[in-house]
Amino acid sequence: MSTDPGGGRRTLVEHAVRLQLKAAPPGWTLLHIECLPLGEVTALARVAGAMAPHRLAVPPEAAQGLHEYLRVEAGTTPVPQQLVIDCFPDGRLLVRTEPAPALAPGPTPGAGRARAQSRWPKRLLIAVTTGCLVAAAVLFAFRWSWSDPPEADIDLLPPPPPRQQQAFDTISQWFTALNSHDTVAIQRLVCPTPSGAVLNDVEALNGNYLGSVDYPETIVDFRDNAETVTAKVLLRVKPITDDQRQAVKENQQEGSGLAHRWIVLVDDGGVWKVCGSE
């Protein structure tokens, strides 16, 4: 997952979202856009009271801008990336890049749209419940209006303390390595004596029975103890196994709908290593 340090690239997203909002239905509560690495862009709008989201036509100019943003953001990343945007009526934009879903050989026309539709309920819940958090993505603050507004100033949220950012970067690398089954990176990132859920992750990876693909969104609690730090990490979970799907469903129906994990990191010669969980 990446952030956008360049104002020029942010403009590509802002302009594309403005174009897309012209097609949004009255009463929309969330605009969700996905741009896949092979060029397909899908846009869905949630309307209060509607059971299913509205599919929107994507203006070619908007698609072109999003493709350019994704091309620059993905860079030389070996894993294909997709661009995901969530826009709220109060002007908030959550923009992130993440590993693209694997494509089966010879996809049929419209397969990408079907995938986006099937992923919508999970993405909608996470977007709504995490919208007020400082996510590990680009957070743009707009002052939207119902007419075509002039280009608005962007207010960036203050960055986290350096050690918290370093811890989050290491945690992000950890989950990226798990999601891509990169055992070499896992060995580089883990401490010599892992425990708890971290040890479970390593064993599940080695045994090829990971139950989900997890994406860290942000640190919501951070405790710095000099040689160790403990971070409460908000996770976006994509279940793989039936057991994990059931656990996510129960959490959405009966719990908070959020997935958290406490992760302990240790300072190993000036480098953070993922070591345990609480």
User: From the DSSP assignment, how many helices (H) and strands (E) are in the chain?
Assistant: 7, 10
The arithmetic mean of pLDDT across residues 118-124, rounded, is 43
Question: Quick one: pLDDT band at residue 253, thresholds 50, 70, 90?
Answer: low
Q: What is the pLDDT of residues 28-43, one digit of tens each?
A: 888 999 999 887 899 9
Query: Is the pLDDT assigned to residue 54 strictly greater than 80?
Result: yes
Q: What is the pLDDT of residue 123?
A: 43
- The Cα 262–Cα 251 span in angstroms is 17
Sequence letter at residue 216: P
**Mean per-residue pLDDT over the chain, rounded:** 76
**242, burial (CB in 10 Å: exposed 0-12, middle 13-18, buried 19+):** exposed
Query: Is the pLDDT assigned to residue 187 strictly greater than 50?
Result: yes
> Percent of the chain, pLDDT > 70?
73
The arithmetic mean of pLDDT across residues 121-142, rounded, is 38
Q: What is the pLDDT of residue 212?
A: 78
The arithmetic mean of pLDDT across residues 119-137, rounded, is 38
The CATH code that applies to domain 7-140 is 3.30.500.20
Q: Where do we find the tokens 């693909």? A: 213
Asked if residues 230 and 266 have their Cβ atoms less than 8 Å apart, the reply is: no
Question: Quick one: pLDDT band at residue 99, thresholds 50, 70, 90?
Answer: confident
The ranges assigned to domains in the chain are: 7-140, 162-277
Question: Quick one: pLDDT band at residue 105, thresholds 50, 70, 90?
Answer: very low
Question: Quick one: pLDDT band at residue 256, thresholds 50, 70, 90?
Answer: low
Q: What is the pLDDT of residue 189?
A: 95
Secondary structure class of 102 (helix, strand, coil): coil
- Report the topology of domain 162-277: Nuclear Transport Factor 2; Chain: A, (3.10.450)
Q: Does residue 263 or residue 205 have the better pLDDT?
A: 263
Residues 57-75 as b/e (b if ≥16 CB within 10 A, e otherwise) read ebbeebbebbbebbeebbe
The arithmetic mean of pLDDT across residues 105-112, rounded, is 44
Q: Does residue 21 or residue 277 have the better pLDDT?
A: 21
Listed residue (243, 265, 240) closest to 172, CA to CA: 265
Asked if residues 235 and 151 have their Cβ atoms less than 8 Å apart, the reply is: no
Q: What is the pLDDT of residues 157-179, one digit of tens each?
A: 567 889 999 999 999 999 999 98
Q: What is the pLDDT of residue 43?
A: 94
Q: Where do we find the tokens 């620059």? A: 72
Which residues, 6+ apart, have CB-to-CB distance to 36 below 8 Å?
82, 100, 112
Query: Is the pLDDT assigned to residue 138 strictly greater than 60?
Result: no
Query: Is the pLDDT assigned to residue 193 strictly greater than 90?
Result: yes
Listed residue (96, 87, 130, 124) closest to 258, CA to CA: 130
Question: Quick one: pLDDT band at residue 243, thresholds 50, 70, 90?
Answer: confident
The arithmetic mean of pLDDT across residues 90-113, rounded, is 64
Listed residue (232, 198, 237) closest to 215, CA to CA: 237
Q: What is the pLDDT of residue 1?
A: 40
